[in-house]
Every structure is written in C-alpha cells, then in structure tokens.
Structure 1
Amino acid sequence: MASNIMSKCLLALLLLNLLSYNVQAQLSSSGFYARSCPKLQSIVSSTMAKAVANEPRMAASILRLFFHDCFVNGCDASVLLDDTPTFTGEKNAFPNQNSLRGFEVIDRIKSLVESSCKATVSCADILALATREGVVRLGGPSWPVALGRRDSTTASQSAANSNLPGPASSLSALISAFAAKNMSPRDMTALSGAHTIGLARCTTFRSHIYNDNNINSNFAALRKRNCPSSGGDNNLAPLDGLQGANRFGAHFYQNLVAGRGLLHSDQELFNNGSQDSLVRQYSANTQLFFRDFAAAMVKMGALSPLTGNSGQIRLNCRKTN
C-alpha cells in the first residue's frame, strides 16, 4: 500500500513538472532573435528612449497597451489591429476607447525592425520589449522578457469588454479577473502599481471623488477642481494620486494608505480588505514592490502566447498580412 501511494505521488509530481515545463517552453530566452535580428534590442531601447524623453507619459501608455493586449486572449498583439470588414477590433472596446495610445510608437519600432530584419520579429514581442524599456526609463525595475510570441490574425472587441477590469471594480472583482488569468491577488496588487505612472481621464474617477467615502476629503476637493460633476470628461490627473506621472516608485501605495487613490478600483486595494497588509508593505519597501512587479510582469507576459506555427509575423502591426 505504501509503495502504491508513493508511486502515485511521484507520478503526480512528474505531471506537475511536465506541465510547468510546457508552460515555460512556450517562449524562449531573451536571446531568441540574437542571430536573426541582432539589432532588435538596441532599436527598441533607442526608440523608446526618444519617445519617453519627448513625452514621459508614453511609458505608461505602452505599459497599458501591453496589459490590455495580454488580458484579452493572451499576449498576441491583437490590441494593435485596426477594424476590418471581417472583424471588429479591440481599440474601440469600452475599456480602450479614448484611452489607449502609443500605437504610433510601436509602429515606429516595427518599421525600424523591418528595415533591419524583415518578417522576423512579431509585434507581440516588440510590445513586450517596449513595455520593459518604458518602465526602466522612468526608474522602474527591469525583468527578463522571454521571446518567441507570434501575432494573432484576429481580435475580439467582446473579449476586451468582458476581460478587462474597469476603474469602478470592487476588490473581489479585481481578484476574480486576475484569477481567471491564473494570477494571484499578490500579482494583481503588484501589477496595480503600474498606476505609479500615467494619467487618467476625469470620467474614470469622477464617481470616486464625488460619491465614495473611502477617500481623503482634501484630496477629493483637489481633484474636483479639474474634474467637475459634469463636463470635462477628458481632463487629466495623475494616476498615482499626487506626486505626478513621470517616476516609477512606491508612492502609489503610500497614497492609497493615505486615502488618496485616484480610481475607485485602486483604493479598493486599501479599504479594510485582504490586500491592506501588502499595500502597507509596498508603501514602505520600494524594492519589495519592484521585485514583485517584475515577477508579475514575467507571468503576465506568458499569458497564452501564440508560438511555433500559430499566428503570423505581421509586417504591419495594424493589419494582418
């Protein structure tokens, strides 16, 4: 009996190891294009350096593009596709409309890459690399970007509408949305720290500053100056609450502890709930936040990639070949 139980345990362990290997083997090392496109990394790095120097907010915009791509049918660059007569793309889905930006930066990188190594590097991999470069340019952590993704040949507006958590989400809804992607509450809280950079439109936080009780009254009054109860939908405010939009750090969590979360969904991370302790830890330990953010970005970048013979290498990120 004991030997039978031991055999079953060893078999279960072997299956788990094989599953883990298959997931990791979907993508290759960061040297995937070392021979086929040796200038790739330098092209992405230099182009993002110029883009962020010209407009620091662009780092947040590219990061948002990556998140909104990966959470909808995996990291396949579907978010970059324009509408066609045969399918409606994701750009005008409710969470993306009048919100996603940075497409022209990815187009620029893709054009330079195509000139260096034609039909070799996917838009999905370019977006993954550009995302890391943008974060690093604003003082955030780096992480290894596994490569080998291929591009989708279609997109899904309905999936974008249903998969992406919104600014009015509750903590339980956020946890569920990330769990559906095999990501933990800790992953979710760390990735929410992306809001340490970037700006948000008045329409996304108006309800929070006018209707919620879990908000610092002085902070609410400050934000109301630029976000009236009606009108001014496109007026902008920094996502991190107060400090600004151009430096990646732990101030986002410090503001949550002080009741200065700009979005309802962000303040839900510190609202007498299960993530309060972790938010306090991140607010006091930038390196812990950086470590967990980098690990979660690696995990997110491996969400359902197209590899091998699946998909294609698009020549233009906005349309299929």
Structure 2
Amino acid sequence: MFIRDWWLRLRHVEGCDGSVLLDGSASGPSEKDAPPNLTLRAQAFIIIENLRRLVHNACGSIVSCSDITAIAARDAVVLSGGLNYSIPLGRRDGLTFATRNVTLANLPPPFANTTTILNSLSQKGFTPTDVVALSGGHTIGISHCTSFTNRLYPSRDPTMDQTFFNNLRITCPTANSTNTTFMDIRSPNVFDNRYYVDLMNRQGLFTSDQDLYTDSRTRSIVTSFAINQTLFYQNFVSAMIKMSQLSVLTGTQGEIRTNCSRRNSNDVFVLPNIENDQEGKLASF
C-alpha cells in the first residue's frame, strides 16, 4: 500500500529528514498541506506512525521516522515484486518543515515537462538516468483524474494514444472528476518495467511521464529500461539510495521523534519501551 507514496521520500523538501511527516502549526501549514503533497494519502502517514510505534516498543526511541520511511519504501518495492536492496541508516528527524512556497518551488507537478524536471532534480544531484529510473515508481499505484485531465480536456494531448485517451475519458468524464485510475495499465500491481513499455506506446498517464519518451535527452533511457528490466532495477536502486541520502541529519543533529507528526517537547524526557495506550505516545515525566 505504501508503494503508491514512494515519492513521499523525495517530497522531504528539507532533505530526507521526515519533514513532510510533520503536521502544521500556528505559524503556518506544513509541507503535507502544500498542493503538490495533497495527493499523498493520509493512510501512508498513519502507516509510518504505526511502524514507528512498533519499532520503538521493541527497541526504544533509537530509530528515526526518517529511517522508518526509507525502510518502508524499500520494503514496499520488494513486496510488490521489485528488487531488494540495502540502504544506509542512521538518519535523524528534522526540526522544521518547508513553507508552502518552498515546497511548490522544489516539487515539479505532474504536468511538468522533462526540461522542468531535469532542471529541478539536477540541482539535487540527479542525472537524467536517475530521473527516468525514479519515474519508474509509477509502475504501480493509482492517480486522481485531476492530475492528468489537462491532457484530456478540452482536447486530446497529441502525444497520447487515441484508444488510451478514449478509455481515460470514460474513467474521467469531466475535467474535475474525482475518479482514479492505475498509473500503469499493463501490470498495475507489480513493480516491473512495464511503465516504460506504456511510454513507448504513448500510454503514459502524466505529462511528466510521457514527455520522458518524447524528449530526445531521455528517450533512449526509457527504451533501454523497457527492453531490460534488470537494468531498470539497478538504476532505480542506485537513484533511490542517492535520494535517501539527500541532506540527511546525523549524530546530534535534529532529533528522533516519538511521534512522527510532531516535534518532541523540549522539556520532556522520553522513556523508551513504554506506550500510552490512549494517546499513542511514549510516556514521559
């Protein structure tokens, strides 16, 4: 289930420090409340907090929400049929979240073209191959119609296959439909390379997907991944590990949250291995 929100990890605008998990405060809305993150399912945040509780019950408060998120994303890939891989651990959780404007500036929307995405992610150290490999996460999961109806209305995006267009118009009968559809029509529940086959057949859902095959800088990468699933897996793992190390906090930086959605209280000492059943928080004194 969490695999649909694998991009949650890159959406940590402040780095891979759990910033997107934080709730907003009196000072302003959180990253999760910014428009690009509204498609992240509330259930994904609940899953992370439930995992944090289980881990802290067993081990004490020594594992960060950031590490738990990274591990959950990896395990979701594996459980969906993808390649297993090891990831560096030892992150600590950030104390702040990015503002709405900073979030908007750092997260390319689904209607962005390849130039916008390459320019944005190159600033974080990602190559075109990394970008195409990470986009392969769309091989599994669903999307709301509003993320791609700009390609359906008022007329068909010419880069979209006609039959694919006809079917999507049935699923999304209006531009503001709240319906959903699979992001990979060939194998929506399996983490494989069929997403790239979709793109070669002009059946990519988002502009940010299909333009990877239209753009001459990334077309050959899409083709190579469509032909060779092992090559896709290798590059996906490499890019995910790189992403998981973006601006991480270690040592005495940040904190290890005892609730993934809130900063720890500065004047509370946390006892490991003890949960408050009613509030779901570690007991303190």
Using structure 2 for the length normalisation, give the TM-score. Answer: 0.88
Q: Distance in 2 between matches of 1:316 and 1:161?
A: 26
Residue number in structure 2 paired with 1:188: 131
1:243 offset after TM fit, Å? 2.0
The yes-or-no answer on 1:91 pairing with 2:32 is yes
Q: Distance in 2 between matches of 1:152 and 1:312?
A: 7
Determine which of 65, 68, 81 is the counterpart of 1:126: 68
Q: 1:275-315, CA deviations, whole angstroms, 9 ceiling, x for partnerless residues?
A: 11111111111000000000111111111001111110100
Aligned residue identity for 1:168: F
- Determine if contact 1:200/1:238 at 8 Å carries over to the other structure: yes
The yes-or-no answer on 1:223 pairing with 2:168 is yes
Q: 1:189-219, CA deviations, whole angstroms, 9 ceiling, x for partnerless residues?
A: 0000000011110000101234411010100
Q: Distance in 2 between matches of 1:309 and 1:273?
A: 45
- Determine if contact 1:64/1:100 at 8 Å carries over to the other structure: no
- Determine if contact 1:73/1:159 at 8 Å carries over to the other structure: no
CA separation of 1:86/1:117 partners in 2, compared to 1, >3 Å: closer, same or farther?
Answer: farther
Q: How does 1:35-184 map to 2 (within 5 A)?
A: 57-61=1-5, 63-69=6-12, 72-101=13-42, 102-156=44-98, 157-184=100-127
Q: Distance in 1 between matches of 2:66 and 2:101?
A: 20
CA separation of 1:106/1:314 partners in 2, compared to 1, >3 Å: closer, same or farther?
Answer: same
1:272 offset after TM fit, Å? 4.4
Using structure 1 for the length normalisation, give the TM-score. Answer: 0.78
Identify, as 1 or 2, the structure richer in helix. Answer: 1
1:154 offset after TM fit, Å? 1.1
Residue number in structure 1 paired with 2:183: 239
- Determine if contact 1:91/1:100 at 8 Å carries over to the other structure: no
- Determine if contact 2:2/2:72 at 8 Å carries over to the other structure: no
Q: Distance in 1 between matches of 2:188 and 2:107?
A: 22
Give the stretch that moved more between structures: 93-102 or 136-145: 93-102
- Determine if contact 1:93/1:160 at 8 Å carries over to the other structure: yes
Give the length in aligned residue pairs: 260
Q: Distance in 1 between matches of 2:186 and 2:237?
A: 22
Aligned residue identity for 2:14: N
| SS of equivalent to 2:220 | helix
1:118 offset after TM fit, Å? 2.1
Q: Structure 2, unaligned stretches of length 5 or more?
A: 265-285
Aligned residue identity for 2:77: V
Q: Distance in 1 between matches of 2:41 and 2:10?
A: 11
CA separation of 1:79/1:272 partners in 2, compared to 1, >3 Å: closer, same or farther?
Answer: closer
Residue number in structure 2 paired with 1:256: 199
- Determine if contact 1:90/1:155 at 8 Å carries over to the other structure: yes
Q: Distance in 2 between matches of 1:89 and 1:272?
A: 34
- Determine if contact 1:204/1:263 at 8 Å carries over to the other structure: yes
Q: Structure 1, unaligned stretches of length 5 or more?
A: 1-56
